[in-house]
Amino acid sequence: MHLLWFKRDLRLTDHAALFHAAKQGTAVLPVYIVEPDYWQQPDVSLRHWAFVAEALTSLQQQLTTLGQPLLVYYGAATRVLRELCARFPISAVYSHQESGNLWSYQRDLAVARLLSELALPWHQYPQFAVIRKLPNRDLWFAEADNWLSQRLYPTPQSLPFICASNWQAPLTAPKRNRDLPTCQQRQHGWQLQHTLQSFLEQRSQQYHGGISFAARAVKSCSRLSPFLAYGQLSIRELQQQTERQRKQSTSAQQQRGLQAFYSRLRWHCHFIQKLEDEPEVEVRNMHRGFDGLREDAFEPGLFQAWASGQTGYPLIDAAMRSLLSTGWLHFRGRAMLVAFASYHLWLHWRPLALHLAQCFVDYEPGIHYPQIQMQAGTTGINPNRMYNPVKQSMQKDPKGEFIRQWLPELRRVPDSWLHQPWLMSTTLQQQFGCVIGRDYPAPVVAASQAVTAARARLSRWLAQHRQAFELEKRQVFQRHASRNRPKAQRARKTSTQLGLFD
């Protein structure tokens, strides 16, 4: 029999490992391993587990229908796999290729050593258009496009029964020493079909032009990111469905929305490829010329104000409080949070990345770390984006709908003062029930002065390290930068190309 190890691929449709494991009627033992050490890592949280547990419940129901239910084990993957191979006549192990965090990378190396010791082949198949041991980026787009356009793998009609499931409902939550507050308004692992259908058929009409506005983004965005992150939805299936729906639609507005979504979706695998090529960017600067730029200037008080939504800048704080409560935020909000912390507060990106990773229910390491570094300005190949928090607030939430939803202390403040409430006189603060420093914090920094200081610091740093910086920049570009596509494909690129697909 073949052992099918589910990791971040919790589905049956377009599942290469399942298809090949079950080929020619071979018995398949489907296994999921809850690894305690993983759940102690600083970039995971129990809101991730809550979503995964729901996705596993859905997967269990589907596998039971096929004939062989899922088996769930707790413990180190090497120990569990060794015990299973001793108990069952396993002839091979099948799984997807995981481009996860450094912990999962080291775990997979340990599993590879174990299976080599046991003389068992381990067949791994791509989950995304990510190429393992890619020599360079020159032909990546062509190879990725070819993979994404291939026919979907069929789902087996049945699986031979091997043994009854050891399933315990509800699944036991892993233990963590510390964790975020409960995320009661998060998306759920059983919402895939409704979310997918509502977006492709209805909400996609509002996608173009709606995804950057804080109050509208919650419905305008696809909201499919957590289902892709945990593999409930195949990226290839989603891309092909999106293109079919666009061609079938009779609405010009919906066609435009789906075209914009398709364009962003194509960059999903581009970012994951970066982490696959260089797993160390999870913990160190992509461009080593920035080593030492911010590390020694980290101020815990500023970090805590940012992480709790207490900076005194309404849109920044509303974005963080929304994220803490729902586990999701639109891309502009994510970029703004990182840029504000990196430039205005001059905080190193690594603690920011860990906090946000724990917050995001849709945490995908391959997108997360390259994007964090891009917004923090440590890639060396992307422009520095120093968003003005007041200007962004006025432009992206002009009527204050989003701000008032997440900052109840500002609900009575009129629009004319909402984006800069610290400018109100003492009399107006008392009149509107929002005394700065008591009901809502004063700004932790002066935005204009802080960004001026950040630019000066960057200029001095680049001047001191210019020669080595340019050499490193060329190396980063060669390894990670996108290349031009063939002319027939360039029309799909938009100004949002470097954003998250959602």
Annotated binding residues for FAD, as ranges? 207, 261
| Cα-based distances in Å from 42 to 94, 111, 254, 356 | 28, 22, 40, 11
Residues 334-351 as b/e (b if ≥16 CB within 10 A, e otherwise) read bbbbbbbbbbbbbbbbbb
Phi, psi of 291 (to 5 degrees): -60, 125
- Rounded Cα–Cα distance for residues 46 and 173 (Å): 8
Sign of CA dihedral 314, 320, 326, 330: positive
Residue ranges for the known binding site are 207, 261
Helix (H) or strand (E) holding 32: strand 28-34
In the beta sheet, which residues pair with residue 124? 95
- Cα atoms in the 13 Å half-sphere on the side-chain side of 160: 12
CB atoms within 10 A of CB 260: 19
3-state SS assignment for residue 125: strand
Q: Look up residue 349 and give its DSSP letter.
A: H
In the beta sheet, which residues pair with residue 436? 440
Contact 442, 428 (CB under 8 A): no
3-state SS assignment for residue 29: strand
- Rounded Cα–Cα distance for residues 362 and 183 (Å): 13
Contact 96, 102 (CB under 8 A): no
3-state SS assignment for residue 339: helix
Alpha carbon dihedral 481, 485, 490, 493, in 10-degree steps, equals: -30
Helix (H) or strand (E) holding 476: helix 466-480
Contact 289, 363 (CB under 8 A): no
Query: 413: burial class by Cβ within 10 Å (0-12, 13-18, 19+)?
Result: buried
